[in-house]
Amino acid sequence: MMKKYYLLLLCFGGFFNVIATENTTSELASFKKKVNRAIIKFENTDKALWSYTISRHENEEGDISSSIEQHSPLSNEKWLLKQINGQSPTKKQIKKFAKKKRDQDNAETQGKNMQLKFRELINLESLSLVSIDNNHIVMAFDVYIKKLGKDSIGKLQGQLIYQKNKQFIEKITIWNNAEFSPMFTANITDLALTFTFVNIDDAVLAKQNEMKMKGNFAYFTEINETSQDNFSDYLYLGK
């Protein structure tokens, strides 16, 4: 009698395990769809119709620099350097900065810019659930950033935070799990990239970009860089 009872429990246990697996698979597919729609929302945000301010801070092997830049898309000069290293910029610095930004904008128009895109950054098929609560869904994914070279394949991992209420990707974090060489004689031991976003009137806009990187170049030169860009004062200029 005990043997029959035990076998019955095994059968029901196997049945419930199958149901649980199906539910998990179904939920994962649902989460992937949510992330895909969030990516589309980001792609549909026309950033050219927003004015904003960027506060930049960099530390490259102890060489610290900072700047405050203003983006006004409807002005003749779309970019204006407001401050550099805590001081008002000279006319020469303003002119040099404006030319640099025009060149960058032209490169972007011609498809030559190296800016990361959500859809290239997040491998949808590799998404897996990390955690979920009332406000957020946290998912992990595989990362391959082409400009970091083939040696980085399998050595980078990512995580995103999806905000349920406003249905957008609130944060993306990328880090390395092993040393890699993005180019000849360069070796990266530590890399951490963090991108946070804000949802304003259903538009998804950058809030903060942060980068930390350590390694060496040509075997002798130390790489120790940190940078942080903070975006603020968003104003929609479209109709």
Residue range 27-55, pLDDT digits in tens? 899 999 999 999 999 999 998 889 999 99
Contact 225, 216 (CB under 8 A): no
pLDDT of residue 23: 47
Both structure tokens of 185: 């004689």
Sign of CA dihedral 95, 96, 97, 103: positive
pLDDT of residue 76: 86
The CA-CA-CA angle for residues 97, 230, 202, to 5°, reads: 110
pLDDT lower than 50: segments of the chain: 2-23, 111-114
Beta bridge partners of 235: 51
pTM (predicted TM-score): 0.84
pLDDT of residue 119: 84
pLDDT of residue 7: 41
